[in-house]
Homo-oligomer: A and B are copies of this chain.
């Protein structure tokens, strides 16, 4: 039997209401407050958060739903979310969906049962478009991927611009036959593809883009096949860290010289991109900021439920490395 507020009240010689008020910030005379505090330490009382949540009707809990926390991008974002959350006295429930809409639906239902205060969500395209935030019962902040119709807060990268920047960087360095590898489940992949295609069209060049499942293995297989085709690209853009990793593995396995036979560029300044020869050219996303801002927006929304939804668009930073050296 664990000790409850009743035991504390008995020990301190006051009512349970007084104990509750002393522990919270209710009006209690200094005398009784001291008595209560003494009783609390004496019997090692720990409040029961389930009871507190049930009665007070707010759980101080947020859900963080991402595809896979093992993706360094989400790892870093998640860490930032948690830091801000815990500092604000909130708990975080982490959910990995593996880009699977069924799992997304399941976890959203779970969030309802948990009566979470809100959710930070990197949704699949299908789910993002269909999301009805009104009937969900809690506010949602989208990250990384935008919802089409979803009238909710979001913090995003300027994906079109970033992808276009990569293409222009490669053009500047003298590359012409530029291929692209994009994830096929998220709106992010689509947006980056759009920026990629626009930049190439502006330059009057053909657009060679392929869509794959968002995993390193899929990217590796796709690029390996591509390199065996008749006219492989001179440079490749990969639309996220996982795909870039797969691409790097494929070129290494095929013994293709980077950047002499194939230049590489992509997204996410993961730690390996600096170490892998000759260094990967990437768009670095402000991962810590994305997580922090998302959580702050959620807290803000909880304070002002009726505030109009806001989208924060952050800029990526081009980190040029050896994988896109100027063409000889």
Contact = CB atoms under 8 A, between A and B. Distances in A.
Given A50-B53, A54-B54, A271-B245, A69 B59 contact: no
Interface stretch (A34-42, A89-97, A152-160): A89-97
Contacts of A270: 271-272
A114 B75 contact: no
A51 interface: yes
A95 B68 CA distance: 17
A132 to B, nearest CB: 12
Contacts of A47: 113
Interface centre among A50, A54, A96, A137 (most CB of B within 10 A): A50
Contacts of A248: 275
How many interface residues does chain A have, given as a range?
A: 35 or more
A46 interface: yes
Nearest to A76: B70
Given A94-B94, A272-B276, A276-B276, A113 B46 contact: yes
Contact of A51 (B54, B79, B82, B275): B54
A259 to B, nearest CB: 15
Contacts of A79: 68-70, 96
A9 to B, nearest CB: 18
A48 interface: yes
Interface string A119-132: 00000000000000
Given A49-B114, A69-B69, A69-B82, 6 more contacts: A51-B54, A70-B72, A83-B96, A91-B114, A249-B275, A276-B276
7 contacts: A46-B113, A50-B114, A50-B115, A70-B76, A72-B72, A82-B96, A245-B271
